[in-house]
């Protein structure tokens, strides 16, 4: 059976959730008056075996112990993180500042990654991790150029362009679906010719504000405005 290497933080997370289950089972036996089972797979015996193994650098968990840890992670962390699991990527970008990403999501990500690694059955879908989303959002916030096309004064499509990574996120402001998921992909140099102008986030934001003076912004344009404001705000944080 393969040995499992855990980081200190992963070990702490496992100890925490297994101890919670351990305390619950002990309390149940105390209140019910039922004696402890001597069976190897009894919850108390599993908890004690897992907690003992977690004191070692490399852990040789049995399949039953892996399933038990998986259930504890799911019960005490993952199931309580429905908001994190269901939030759209663009909403993550708007709602969270880059300075607090790690503190907000490392606990969930650690539990989800552990369960993906040791505790899912073949029929289960892997848990969504936040770290890859964070990387995309950081790359968007650090983008230094906006390619855009206009119809009259109206911006109808943009490409958020990170020239260091040579990646872009294409958005058509009249289509709601473009904001559901951040698709930050490689850009070919010839793609730039498909847009009528380019500018910094600040310059494109000013174009949008000038348009707003005489026109009501539609849903996609409102989202674009929020995105540009977040980019400008993030750059001030780093200044």
pLDDT, tens digit (0-9, with 9 covering 90-100), for 106-130 = 999 999 999 998 877 667 788 899 9
Whole-structure pTM value? 0.82
Spatial CB neighbours of 25, under 8 Å, sequence gap ≥ 6? 43, 44, 47
Mean pLDDT score across all residues of the chain:
88
Task: Give CA–CA dist 97/90, Å, rounded.
Answer: 13
pLDDT confidence of 191, banded at 50, 70, 90? Answer: confident
Lowest mean pLDDT among 95-104, 192-201, 207-216: 95-104
Alpha helices in 54-200 (DSSP H): 63-73, 82-86, 89-95, 101-118, 131-141
Task: Give CA–CA dist 80/89, Å, rounded.
Answer: 19
Q: Please check the confidence at residue 35 and state whether its pLDDT lies above 70.
A: no
Q: Residue length, the chain?
A: 239
Residues 220, 222, 228, 231: what is their CA dihedral angle, to the nearest 10 degrees?
-100
Q: Which residue has the tokens 């840890």?
A: 69
């Amino acid at each position: 059976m393969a040995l499992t290497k855990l980081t200190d933080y992963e070990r702490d997370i496992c100890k925490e959730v297994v101890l919670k289950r351990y305390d619950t089972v002990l309390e149940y036996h105390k209140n019910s008056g039922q004696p402890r089972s001597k069976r190897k797979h009894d919850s108390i015996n599993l908890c004690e075996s897992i907690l003992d193994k977690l004191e070692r650098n490399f852990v040789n968990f049995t399949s039953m112990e892996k399933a038990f840890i998986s259930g504890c992670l799911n019960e005490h962390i993952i199931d309580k993180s429905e908001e994190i699991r269901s939030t759209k990527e663009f909403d993550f970008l708007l709602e969270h500042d880059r300075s607090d990403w790690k503190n907000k999501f490392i606990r969930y990500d650690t539990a989800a990654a552990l369960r993906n690694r040791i505790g899912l059955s073949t029929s289960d879908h892997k848990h969504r991790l936040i770290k890859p989303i964070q990387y995309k959002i950081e790359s968007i916030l650090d983008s230094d150029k906006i390619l855009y096309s206009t119809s009259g004064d109206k911006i109808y499509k943009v490409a958020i362009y990170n020239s260091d990574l040579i990646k872009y996120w294409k958005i058509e402001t009249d289509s709601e679906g473009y904001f559901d998921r951040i698709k930050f992909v490689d850009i070919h140099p010839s793609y730039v010719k498909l847009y009528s102008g380019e500018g910094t986030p600040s310059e494109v934001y000013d174009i949008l504000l000038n348009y707003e003076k005489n026109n009501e912004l539609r849903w996609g344009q409102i989202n674009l405005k929020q995105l540009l404001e977040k980019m400008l705000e993030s750059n001030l944080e780093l200044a």
